[in-house]
């Protein structure tokens, strides 16, 4: 069988794909459950894909595809470390048996001396002691989605029955901590929390003791459930600051829950000031670490 990746391929514009001479390293993200999720978050761009042909379960990865994916992924990496990222939808809906197979297949296909790592992005609502024991035993890194304190988190992140999810996510964080499972926090910044940066940051630091924090701005085209943004139509998109680019305006092209551009800037500036004064060097905030690294060359 022809190798899945051509070792003679050169991509000078993407050095992160090649690494040191003779080493081919890359990082891909798998969605083994497709769009299937047990929550109904207002801003989720992926839930609408459950209506595609085949139904909500159509995106579930079969055992055959799982093994092919793991084998080809490992074959394609010539470096000493391979990182698998499992996302969704909500990947824990696949159950522990699926991830037990993942670990078995990774060991089966790993090259001698090669280190295999896994990370799992989850809403946390299905985690229990058994899950956390497995994650700890197999050295998974977890990304936990949480948008801030209760009144902020529960504003958009709800169940299919519109029930709040904060308590379950907080319980998941405590379980992960108790079992010694390392986890990062992923926080969406939207119209409801964009003007409350320090409330969000203080909660992540003091209540969750998060030391690796990711912020994602929610900016969604109004018709994203039905069609892609009107790129290529010839019409110029609105400029930053114009009413059509801001949520809440009658002619806005973005959803009402999108973060306002000015609020996103305000959010980052206020959190940056707090981070620099109290947490730099011991808390990693993805935007700021990248900015500092680029500034220092």
- How far CA 281 is from CA of 181, 276, 277, 290, in Å, comes to 22, 9, 11, 13
Strand order in the sheet with 29-30: 29-30, 81-86, 115-122, 140-145, 183-189, 212-217, 284-285
Per-residue model confidence (pLDDT) at position 138: 98
List of residues 6+ apart from 279 with CB closer than 8 A = 205, 285
pLDDT digit of tens for each residue in the chain (297 aa)? Answer: 333 333 333 333 334 444 566 667 788 899 999 889 999 999 998 876 666 656 555 678 999 999 999 999 999 998 899 999 999 999 999 999 999 999 999 999 999 999 999 999 999 999 999 999 999 999 999 999 999 999 999 999 999 999 999 999 999 999 999 999 999 999 999 999 999 999 999 999 999 999 999 999 999 988 777 776 665 455 677 887 888 889 999 999 999 999 999 999 999 999 999 999 999 999 999 999 888 888 887
Per-residue model confidence (pLDDT) at position 291: 86
**What are 75-86's pLDDT values in tens digits?**
999 889 999 999
> Would you state the structure tokens that stand for residue 294, as one six-digit string?
């680029």
Question: Is the Cβ–Cβ distance between 93 and 37 less than 8 Å?
Answer: yes
Q: Where are the domains of the chain?
A: 24-122
**What are 4-16's pLDDT values in tens digits?**
333 333 333 334 4
**What are 112-126's pLDDT values in tens digits?**
999 999 999 999 999
Per-residue model confidence (pLDDT) at position 8: 33
Per-residue model confidence (pLDDT) at position 13: 38
Put simply, whether the predicted model's pTM sits higher than 0.85 gets the answer: yes
């Amino acid at each position: 069988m022809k190798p899945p990746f051509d070792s003679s391929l050169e991509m000078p514009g993407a050095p992160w794909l090649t690494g040191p001479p003779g080493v081919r390293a890359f990082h891909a993200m798998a969605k083994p459950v497709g769009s299937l999720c047990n929550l109904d978050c207002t801003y989720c761009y992926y839930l609408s894909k459950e209506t595609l042909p085949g139904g909500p379960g159509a995106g579930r990865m079969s055992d055959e595809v799982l093994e092919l994916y793991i084998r080809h992924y490992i074959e394609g990496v010539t470096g000493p470390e391979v990182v698998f990222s499992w996302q969704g939808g909500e990947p824990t809906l696949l159950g522990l048996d699926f991830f037990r197979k993942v670990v078995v297949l990774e060991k089966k296909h790993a090259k001698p001396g090669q280190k295999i790592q896994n990370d799992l992005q989850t809403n946390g609502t299905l985690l229990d002691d058994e899950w956390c024991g497995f994650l700890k035993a197999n050295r998974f890194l977890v990304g936990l989605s949480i948008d801030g304190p209760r009144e902020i988190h529960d504003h958009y992140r709800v169940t299919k029955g519109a029930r709040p999810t904060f308590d379950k996510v907080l319980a998941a964080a405590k379980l992960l901590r108790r079992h010694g499972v390392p986890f990062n926090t992923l926080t969406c910044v939207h119209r409801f929390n964009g003007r409350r940066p320090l409330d969000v940051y203080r909660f992540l630091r003091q209540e969750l003791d998060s030391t690796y924090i990711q912020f994602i701005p929610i900016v969604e085209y109004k018709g994203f459930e039905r069609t892609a943004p009107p790129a290529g139509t010839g019409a110029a998109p609105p400029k930053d600051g114009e009413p059509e680019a801001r949520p809440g305006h009658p002619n806005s092209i973005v959803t009402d829950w999108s973060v306002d551009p000015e609020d996103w800037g305000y959010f980052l500036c206020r959190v940056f000031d707090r981070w620099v004064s109290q947490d730099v060097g011991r808390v990693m905030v993805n935007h700021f670490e990248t900015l500092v690294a680029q500034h220092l060359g």
